[in-house]
Amino acid sequence: MSFPFQRLSLQTIAAACLLTPTGLLMVTGARADDSAFTSMAGLGTATGPEIYAHICQGCHMPGGQGAVGAGHYPKLAGDPALVAWEYVAITVLNGKHGMPAFGLPQNQVTETRSVHLSDAQVADVVNYVRNNFGNNFKSKVTAQQVAKIPHPGSAPPTED
């Protein structure tokens, strides 16, 4: 006995799923930085290379060469702007030109569906980018240094 669904190819089933309103929303709403796509449980202990692989390389590409097409994603490979670790850390924390902020407070992560990276993770991914893809910047940033940078949603520093 043959069942009708046995004759359907995987491509046909996938196409049918994409045509449903729910499937279409899932396709158009998914982003690499989306907390529904990249679980916090998996990122809790992620290292710089793992964070780059799960979040950054979707736009900046596996070799850090960047991309142009639906958007402009700057190359990280051999980028002289990476000499200043603060520039890289501020960009990761606050986002830039459509790149989401990864330093949002935990209570805002759910609202934006973005991923929150700890100061240690920001330091790890900054160090990874600054020492790979043809970059060779010797200084290492620490979580304590990242913590001193203003984070999105935080109060501005007060003058004493």
Contacts of residue 145, Cβ cutoff 8 Å, sequence gap at least 6? 85, 89, 123
Tell me, what's the pLDDT at 68? Answer: 86
Its pTM stands at 0.70
Tell me, what's the pLDDT at 10? Answer: 40
Tell me, what's the pLDDT at 37? Answer: 45
Tell me, what's the pLDDT at 53? Answer: 93
Query: CATH 1.10.760.10 spans which residues of the chain?
Result: 34-147
Tell me, what's the pLDDT at 155? Answer: 62
Tell me, what's the pLDDT at 108? Answer: 66
Tell me, what's the pLDDT at 152? Answer: 87
Where the chain has pLDDT below 50, the residues are: 1-31, 33, 35-37
Tell me, what's the pLDDT at 160? Answer: 53
Q: Measured between alpha carbons, how far is residue 122 from residues 20, 43, 88, 100, 147 in Å? A: 38, 12, 9, 14, 10
Per CATH, the homologous superfamily of domain 34-147 is Cytochrome c-like domain (1.10.760.10)
Contacts of residue 115, Cβ cutoff 8 Å, sequence gap at least 6? 33, 34, 35, 38, 40, 43, 55, 102, 109
